[in-house]
Amino acid sequence: MTTCYPATVSTSCPNTDEVDAFKCGSSESIPCNFKNIFNEILIPYPEKCFAAFQSCGSQEETDGSQPIFFLKKYKELALHSRGLAVAITFKENNKNYVVSVNSDSSIAFNQCELPRDISGVQSDIIFYQKVFRQEHPNSFRFESSLKQNFYLGFSADADDNNKKLVLKHLPRDYLDETIMFTFV
């Protein structure tokens, strides 16, 4: 079992002219659910500190019983552009959770509110949303800003066959379909 650790993000940016920082792009969060290549929906289990892709009937997809994720856009103030900077959140039992990356490359769900500003060029809660491939313009991949060439993806657990959300290392310019997501 993975241990949850608190997020390490700055809640304020002392120098608003700072070049290396992320700032909230807008107050709007975009609702979405993530699907993998098997058309399974990502279901979070924050109390167990994991999320897994699971098959859901069309009734479950439309009745609102599945947790909804939200993408929050951040403006990257650095001179490079690695993709659209986003934070991924969800709400369960009236608690807000933020998806983050631990130093050991595990995924965590921290109960907290998103910071308005994040100083630095890396953050455990910022992912770069990129088109998966040109021929798949409605499919995306999410690279960690904290760990370059590490992407959100899924891996089958040998014990229970769940397709758990993990952080996968892939060599530069190498793509596999375990890191491809579509939105519902």
pLDDT tens, residue by residue, 121-160: 889 999 999 999 888 889 999 999 999 999 999 986 655 5
Model pTM score: 0.81
Encoded amino acid at 11, one letter:
T
Q: Which of 73, 94, 74, 88 is nearest to 33 (CA)?
A: 88
Fold of 21-170: Trefoil (Acidic Fibroblast Growth Factor, subunit A) (2.80.10)
